[in-house]
Structure 1
Amino acid sequence: MFTGSIVALVTPMDEKGAIDRVSLRKLIDYHVASGTKAIVSVGTTGETSTLTHEEHGDMVMWTLELSDGRVPVIAGTGANSTAEAVSLTRRFNDSGVVGCLSVTPYYNRPSQEGLYQHFKAIAESSNLPQILYNVPTRTGCDMLPPTVARLAEINNIIGLKEATGNLSRVSQIQDLLNTDFLLLSGDDASALDFMQLGGQGVISVTANIAAKEMAHLCALAAEGNYTDARRLNQRLMPLHKTLFFEPSPIPVKWACKVLELIKTDTLRLPMMPLTETGICVVKQALIDAGLL
């Protein structure tokens, strides 16, 4: 459940900005049918930064309810306050989620020791499996391989979503860790290379709109069939790139709407709708990928 194609699910909203349960059900059904291995609910792509605490919990619980055991659900529980991250994590104890994804604290730029103590406190607050999430372009904070190795010694810290796009990190981390620790790419454009170097999968933005293709890509990589995997990845590469043409999840929510996976591409301020230029770029990428 923690390998292969794991979708970083968008949070569908109606015209007024409320969470859209009808579209959420449609998205979950789509991922079940497409072979997505697990859903991350309320991660970065799920607009965690603009949801209230109550909405955050509701979105995770509704994802659990609507998935009805058909696909594992991982809860996004990261925060820049350790106490808040601990509270979010505890909220999902005994809820049915299979684990938590916790991003490095953003904005306050902690030291490596601060990162260690932060994640140690979170892990010790729960029996749920914990996946670390390193995305310095978003957080201004980079968790280095020696810190990951220290954290990996804590029993319920089981893996890392590494979203730096720096492929040398794979071998650096592997050299310090045992083979049971999961390494997941958080960067679609380099995910195939990441898996070829030893990663076990990807927590993907592209999978929101190309779920079957991403599931197949990861399956090919797991089989060691990199010839066919690279052919498929080359077709998806325009999507991998243009879904970040403007800040995510702006492009991917627009694409979800165009593909009729959700009703609207509503976002909350300070996020703005996809620009006319962005629409042209993303639409062409969808055409090139054979999705439109």
Structure 2
Amino acid sequence: MPIIDFKGAWTALITPFKPDGSVDYSGFEKNIEFQVAGGITGILPVGTTGESPALKEEEHNSVIKKAKEFTMGRCGVLAGTGSNSTLEALGYCRTAVESGIDKVLLVDCYYNGPSSLELRREYYQPVLDEYSDIKIVIYVIPGRTGTAITPADIAVLSGRYDRVIAIKEATGDIGRMTEEHSLMPDMSIMSGDDDITFEIMTNSGIGSAGAISVISNIAPLAVTGMVDALLSGDREKGKSIADKLKPLFSIVTVKARSTRVLPDGSKATVEDRFRNPLAIKTAMNGLGIPAGAPRRPLGKMTPEGIDIVRGALKKVYQESFDIFKPLEEFYGIDIEERLSDNDVWNKMTYGV
């Protein structure tokens, strides 16, 4: 296993769509330029945030190619090539390799429910065997996939292939991450949850090497500053930035309670859980950044959900304007005006 060579702040990019539902490549390029301007270490196209399960095969491949083309070597590219089909994943990996990308993110296979052993032998190993130059980041997110490769199987895999360079940890399980670090002290553990990045980067039993962030879609400079500060040992600076970003970290997933009117006229209170990338796309659309609606079956938020997102943005704008200043200047938008415009936000909800 190599000494950690995958670290820093990486953005899990959204995939912007036009009103007709097609991929907005002009907006995609603009958003990548913003990431580069913000000093991001690298970008991750077509991951969870990029709505990979909702893209057609040709769209998925095209977004990978365009990401490499648009970056022009100015930041790293980690291609999202995972699938619940090994054959499909192999195809996306081929696109990455042919595009000149040598790092890919493979999410544990979702829905099929393979065991950890099956994931290792029938998914990760075939990719590593097929592409001898490719480096892989293992993405563990059981809340989405319903399965998870174990730390032990990752250790076996990384012992046989030195091209297993990192784990994107989205389990929220501190004990598991500690076990990973104990078994593989030279393995890069990357935070896949913005709200615990500071915690696991400052935990010596985990030693996270950075983050693959959702919130850096709108705050790459700040997220990069936090991660770089923590990597250099400046905990105080890292904590200061993390505290400013905390309201944004809280809206990657949004829970909101609202009322449903039943057929008999009675009412029921329901808690909706609006999951990534709905909230970040809602925020970006509200601020005037290329995003577009998510692909179905994702849709819109309730007014209560919109209020939570809007409130978090307002709090950061009012208390820590430096976080949003690069956004305002790059896109030429008036954030205060957009946050105050009810029409902007009301049109992004189903209503009551």
Match of 2:246 in 1: 237
1:252 to 269, 274, 280: 280
Alpha-carbon distance, 1:65 to partner = 1.3
Unpaired runs of 5+ residues, structure 1, are none
Alpha-carbon distance, 1:152 to partner = 1.2
Q: Is residue 137 of structure 2 the alignment partner of residue 131 of structure 1?
A: yes
- Deviating above 4 A after TM superposition, structure 1's stretches of 4 or more consecutive aligned residues are none
Name the amino acid aligned to 1:157: V
Match of 2:315 in 1: 288
Q: Is residue 112 of structure 2 the alignment partner of residue 112 of structure 1?
A: no
CA distance in 2, matches of 1:159, 1:166: 17
Contact 2:135–2:164 (8 Å) recurs in 1? yes
Q: Is residue 190 of structure 2 the alignment partner of residue 163 of structure 1?
A: no
Contact 2:13–2:49 (8 Å) recurs in 1? yes
TM-score (norm 2): 0.79
Once the two structures are superposed, the pairs formed by residues 21-32 of structure 1 within 5 Å of their partners are 21-32=25-36
Q: Deviations over 1:197-216 (max 9, x none)?
A: 20101111111111111000
Equivalent residue of 1:255, what SS? Answer: helix
Contact 2:134–2:163 (8 Å) recurs in 1? yes
CA distance in 2, matches of 1:259, 1:29: 17
Alpha-carbon distance, 1:266 to partner = 1.4
Q: Is residue 30 of structure 2 the alignment partner of residue 3 of structure 1?
A: no
2:199 to 171, 193, 204: 193
Number of residue pairs aligned between Structure 1 and Structure 2: 290
Match of 1:266 in 2: 293
Match of 1:88 in 2: 92
Alpha-carbon distance, 1:135 to partner = 0.3
Q: Deviations over 1:183-204 (max 9, x none)?
A: 1110111011111120101111
Alpha-carbon distance, 1:251 to partner = 0.7
CA distance in 2, matches of 1:241, 1:220: 21
Contact 1:72–1:98 (8 Å) recurs in 2? no
Highest RCO, 1 vs 2 (Cα 8 Å, sep ≥ 6): 1
1:175 to 156, 175, 182: 182
Contact 1:90–1:125 (8 Å) recurs in 2? no
Equivalent residue of 1:92, what SS? Answer: helix
Contact 2:120–2:149 (8 Å) recurs in 1? no
Contact 1:9–1:205 (8 Å) recurs in 2? yes
Rg comparison, structure with higher value:
2
CA distance in 1, matches of 2:180, 2:252: 28
Q: Is residue 223 of structure 2 the alignment partner of residue 211 of structure 1?
A: no
Q: Deviations over 1:63-119 (max 9, x none)?
A: 111112211111101011112212221222131223100000011111121011121
Unpaired runs of 5+ residues, structure 2, are 255-273, 318-323, 325-334, 336-352
Equivalent residue of 2:16, what SS? Answer: coil
2:306 to 267, 279, 282: 279
Equivalent residue of 1:155, what SS? Answer: coil
Contact 2:103–2:137 (8 Å) recurs in 1? yes
Contact 2:6–2:165 (8 Å) recurs in 1? no
Alpha-carbon distance, 1:48 to partner = 0.5
TM-score (norm 1): 0.95
Contact 1:41–1:76 (8 Å) recurs in 2? yes
Sequence identity percentage? 32
Alpha-carbon distance, 1:231 to partner = 2.2
Alpha-carbon distance, 1:240 to partner = 1.1
Contact 2:93–2:104 (8 Å) recurs in 1? yes
2:147 to 112, 136, 141: 141
CA distance in 2, matches of 1:225, 1:91: 39
Contact 1:243–1:282 (8 Å) recurs in 2? no
Contact 1:133–1:160 (8 Å) recurs in 2? yes
Alpha-carbon distance, 1:178 to partner = 4.2
Match of 2:156 in 1: 150
Name the amino acid aligned to 2:128: A
Contact 1:167–1:193 (8 Å) recurs in 2? no
Equivalent residue of 2:125, what SS? Answer: helix
| 24-33 vs 65-74, which moves further | 65-74
* RMSD, aligned CA: 1.4
Contact 1:2–1:37 (8 Å) recurs in 2? no
CA distance in 2, matches of 1:182, 1:205: 19
